[in-house]
Structure 1
Amino acid sequence: MDSDTTSVENILLRSKIRGYARDQRLECRIKAKDAMRIGLGQVMEEVAALESLGTKDVIGMANRIKRRKHAASEDLCRLSLAFLQGIDNSNAFAVIPGAIQVLVKELTGPHIQRHIDAVECLCNLSLGEAHVSEKIASLAGSYMVTYLDGKEERLKRSCLWTLANILATCDKAGRTLLQMQLVPKLWRLYSDRNVCQEDAGICLFLVATHCRQHVSPDDRRYIAQNLHEKKPEDPASEYFMYIVHQLEIVGQDLELGVKQAECLVHFFEASLSSTADSPCLTYGVRVMANLVAKGDLQLLGGLADPQNFVKIINHLFALRDPHLNPDLIRLLRNFLHFNLSDSNMILDSLQIYA
């Protein structure tokens, strides 16, 4: 597949993810009950009354919380609003020595609600430039990764949104996060039935897109061993094959068991109803080509039946997608190496459209 085609596929999928993330965050924040925020309803009304906050306001707030070594709920809300109003505000805050450390202090205190307020503030701050994300990752990354194991859903989701912003913005910051056992935690959230599956899937997609060179062999092995925990009917399953392909989970250096291979085949079969230009389908074909190339008949499941294989590949050729066809040819070539049936009979059964 040429680089231009892959780039277009990535852009389409990233666009979908950005749209989902925007809508999901808005929905969650609208639905959040005032009861979840101790005394914050009045604060939010006061903040909403402000028309704008500039860099001078941000610098003033940063210096004030530094002197106090504490950020009140009102401070966190005002800063959150300021960070949304422009990158200049984020940059102005980030260059004040010790300012981010005050937010981290609130993130690590004894009160869960203050943790949530601090992470949401950091989430908006992480919309800034790469150097800002780098600071957040180094100072607060370990705490946010740790909170992914907790039970407070709103805190976990806010952490995931912040981590997604960082992963999408800064390669160096992404590498820092991956050294904190982020990938296994994301995979568990992505696989387990919980409200964070979609957000965890977005983070894994961003890891596979921007930081795959930093994913350790142990992390890849963990995903390979736990592939079967994810089900095709689960939320965010459309990212599954992309993640598996980009992280080379079905490479020659990783062992796959029968139940893991069955999971891949089930995902592939579920993708057959996708449209021709679906990244889910495209990467599904590539993953199947890699699976067949491993040369282990036990891993193929229903694909080992030549008649079933021909039926599937004819269905895919009938989509008449010129970008998909090279991957189909590779899948076909790898399958013929098994010599499960007379190759000429299989070739004669193919219905390839010009």
Structure 2
Amino acid sequence: MCGSAPVPDIQEITLTARETRRADDIIRRLVSDYGTTDDLGLLARIAEHRDGLPVRLTDVLAEVRSRQGSAVTVVRRPPLDENVGPTPSHWRLHGRAVTAAHDLWLAMVSTQVGDPVCWQTLQEGRLFNDVLPIEGHEHAQTGHGSTHTLDFHVEDAFDDHRCDVLALLCLRNHDLTATTVATADAFPEISAADHELLRRPRFAMVPDPEHLTSGRCADPTPVWRPVLLGGTRPYLRVDPAYTSTAPGDGAAARAFSRLCHRLEGALVPVRLRPGDMVFIDNYRAVHGREPFTPRYDGTDRWLRKLTLTFDLQRSRGRRWAGSRALALS
């Protein structure tokens, strides 16, 4: 990490057992009634239980939704009592009933921020995705890598309708492997010349390999887009692992390299424990992961993921292209 970068735009709230008791009671009742979170009626019901959350939490979540709050918000709580069992060796082997209570806690909080959406091209279109190491993917620049650093990026940078917020809930993290984050406000001002270059559509972005292996309509054709958008406090559209510039466009390549260097220098670790959740504004922050050594013995790091949109109609439009599947409406 570099020198004296400004403090990143991160806030943290820690809930007590008393504050989560009402929500936990609601969740246990719904799990008893439904069994798993596959029933969309259950997910619609959980979104209505705003009154089960403490007011100081819903106030923070409202700021996240309005983009008036911090770019990264960490919500900590006492761990849920329910045992999720061993970390699966693959997301396909995850028994959905075992994480039902945790998924409902994630959904109850997340639906106060945005509407959950999912990709048909990721994990068979499941709404809740697993972030866990898979043997043979140790070096992958995806949520299933481990021994290599997961480079910072915005989620699904290649897509114009990428999520507004990424929500991650920790189920297991014995080694306290950090999710790394950097916010748009956390790196020094870039030059006017770089600013101008980075706002031009001179950067080719492609989907990560997970989108391309399902055979469900992800388009591998690069899209040419800017990596900075907006006014004096620009939004980010940065994914170095899957972004390139045109041959001979050295100016754009150098400007992008300088931006990435600043973001890398601004990265800070967020260490999640079971029950902890982080909300990452997908336009105002990038995220990655520290490397770790997987054991493949059921004790590895395991997170659950939801992607959230502020504008469900915008996301619904993507269904016609076959790329995004709506799970709640």
TM over 0.5: no
Higher relative contact order (CA 8 A, sep 6+): 2
- The structure with the largest strand share of the pair is 2
Q: Of Structure 1 and Structure 2, which has the larger fraction of its residues in helix?
A: 1
Q: Please, what TM-score do these two structures have when normalized by structure 1?
A: 0.28
